[in-house]
Amino acid sequence: MSNRIKVFIVDDSAVVRQVVTAMLAQDPAIEVIGSAADPVFAQQKMAAQWPDVILLDVEMPRMDGITFLKKLMHERPTPVVICSTLTEKGAQTSLDALAAGAVEIITKPKLGLKDFLTESSGTLVRAVKAAARARIGSASAAGRPAASAPSPALPTRAMAKTTECVVALGTSTGGTQALQLVLTSLPENCPGIVVVQHMPEKFTAAFAERLDRLCRCEVKEAANGDRVRPGRVLIAPGGRHMQLKRSGAQYQVNVSDGPPVNRHKPSVDVLFRSVAREAGKNAVGVIMTGMGDDGARGLLDMREAGAVTGAQDEASCVVFGMPKEAIARDAAAQILPLAQIARFILHYGQ
């Protein structure tokens, strides 16, 4: 079938190559066209038939995955899913890969690898399908608005606020680059922001640390009881849900365990629904690039509670899934190019 998603696997583990090939082959929409133990062999094999998606390990002999990824994005941009060990070192390396253009991360343990991969087959298949739909380079390109194109005027917010405004952002595939662009555009006194980015545990701490070095505002992985305040961005930890709680005129976050919602933990819906309940009209919600529908219902709850809501537009999304679902439900009052989201936040969040 010529319309199947062609996947090439690059991993120095023969077990990974064998098990992942068998798992992906069970889905009729996917065809594994080859595999290689390192990027040098991979380049030779892919020259004969180029894949739609590359599943790439980041720690390999002869050429590391990051070097290969950068070379690939320069010479022939292709959607890449990173397969990384669930360690702090693996998290840092995978974030480098996302910054270099990879669209998704799949984690693997050092022990019990075969059983883990078999149990995670659904996650892997969804990641490959999301990557196949990704627009490589959308986030970085969309972040450079043409100087000749004036930004449209935003309407004045009519309803007065009685407490500090809370801004809630939700994103998934392609979100690390998109969030970096938005957050680095904000001043040090930006409104308090809470974020769910679909990411594995350990990775969100490294991601928050990276953003904190780049941004003028403070960015940190959220801990239970952290206060939401101007100049601070709290990112939900991987593997934990985050909810907003009101304490008098202030807000804080509650970080807790629980079952996945919409297959995700943290879930955007969990955060957005809590913001609708606790902050009501004193909130701004934006749903950004990602696959699936997590956050669409929660954004609608926010809008119905009086919050100002927006969704990233299709042209600037890496994957137009979550925003599309929110727009279809009439949850987003405005549809925004990525380059205008920071301005939207500042306009309505002050």
* Same domain for 300 and 176: yes
Q: Which residue has the higher pLDDT, 293 or 158?
A: 293
Q: Are residues 233 and 170 in the same domain?
A: yes
Can you tell me whether residue 32 is helix, strand or coil?
Answer: strand
Same domain, residue pair 200 and 118: no
> Which band of pLDDT confidence, cut at 50, 70 and 90, is reported for residue 297?
very high
Contact yes or no for 336/312 (Cβ under 8 A):
yes
Residue of 35, 84, 138, 172 with catalytic role? 172
CB 166 within 8 A of CB 140: no
- Assess if residue 137 is contained within a domain: no
* 47 part of a folded domain: yes
Shared-domain flag, residues 256 and 317: yes
Say whether both 257 and 300 belong to one domain.
yes
In a domain, 142, yes or no: no
- The answer on pLDDT for 258 being more than 60 is yes
Residues 170 and 299 in one domain: yes
Task: Report if residue 158 sits inside a domain.
Answer: no
**Does the active-site annotation cover 293?**
no
Q: Is residue 247's pLDDT more than 70? A: yes
Res 163: pLDDT: 65
Among candidate residues 241, 258, 183, 176, the one with its CA nearest the CA of residue 217: 183
Q: Which of 198, 226, 301, 313 is catalytic?
A: 198
Q: How confident is the model at residue 142 (pLDDT cuts 50, 70, 90)?
A: very low
Q: Are residues 127 and 171 in the same domain?
A: no
Residue 275 scores a pLDDT above 70: yes
Ranges of beta strands (E only) in 88-210 are: 104-108, 166-171, 192-197
pLDDT for position 136? 83
Let me know if residue 156 belongs to a domain: no
pLDDT band at 8, cuts 50/70/90? very high
More confident residue, 154 or 225: 225
Distance in angstroms (rounded) separating the CA atoms of residues 171 and 66: 24
Tens digit of each residue's pLDDT (9 = 90 or more) over 102-131: 998 888 766 676 777 667 778 889 899 999
153 is a domain residue: no
291: which residues sit within 8 A by CB, 6+ positions away?
126, 129, 130, 133, 172, 173, 319, 321, 322
Last residue of a domain, one of 77, 106, 132: 132
Instruction: Answer whether residue 287 shows pLDDT above 70.
Output: yes
Per-residue pLDDT at 111: 64
Last residue in a domain, options 90, 115, 132 = 132
Same domain, 42 and 118: yes
Q: Is 347 a residue of the active site?
A: no
Q: Is the pLDDT of residue 259 over 70?
A: yes
Region of poorest pLDDT, from 120-134, 237-251, 324-338: 120-134
Q: Does 12 qualify as catalytic in the annotation?
A: no
Looking at the chain, the whole-number percentage of residues with pLDDT higher than 70 is 88
- Identify the pLDDT of residue 31: 96
At 251, the amino acid letter reads: Y
In this structure, is residue 159 part of a structural domain? no
Average pLDDT over residues 270-276: 98
Asked if the structure places residue 41 within a domain, the reply is yes
Q: Which residue stretches of 253-295 are H helix? A: 268-279
> For 219-237, what is each residue's pLDDT tens digit?
999 999 999 999 999 999 9
Per the structure, how many domains does the chain have? 2
How much is the pLDDT for 235?
98
Last residue of a domain, one of 111, 132, 153: 132
Going from the C-alpha of 194 to that of each of 52, 178, 259, 274, the distances in angstroms are 34, 15, 20, 11
Is the confidence at residue 152, as pLDDT, over 50?
no
Residue 145: per-residue pLDDT: 41
- pLDDT at position 335, please? 98
For residue 146, the model assigns a pLDDT of 36
Q: What CATH number is associated with residue 19? A: 3.40.50.2300
The answer on 171 and 77 residing in a single domain is no
Cβ within 8 Å of residue 152, ≥6 positions away: none
270: domain range? Answer: 166-349
Same domain, 67 and 124: yes
Which domain CATH number covers 316? 3.40.50.180
pLDDT tens column, 12-66: 889 889 988 988 989 999 999 999 998 999 999 999 999 999 999 887 777 778 8
Q: How far apart are CA 13 and CA 141, in angstroms?
A: 35
- Please indicate, yes or no, whether residues 219 and 261 belong to a single structural domain of this protein: yes
For the chain, the average pLDDT equals 88
pLDDT bracket for residue 2 (50, 70, 90):
low
Name the percent of the chain lying above pLDDT 90: 67
- The reply to whether 47 and 194 lie within a common domain is no
Predicted confidence at residue 202, as pLDDT, reads 82
**Catalytic option among 52, 226, 294, 313:** 294
pLDDT at 156 over 50: no
Look up residue 291 and give its amino acid.
M
Residues 6+ apart with CB under 8 A from 288: 169, 170, 171, 175, 178, 179, 311, 312, 317, 322, 323, 338, 341
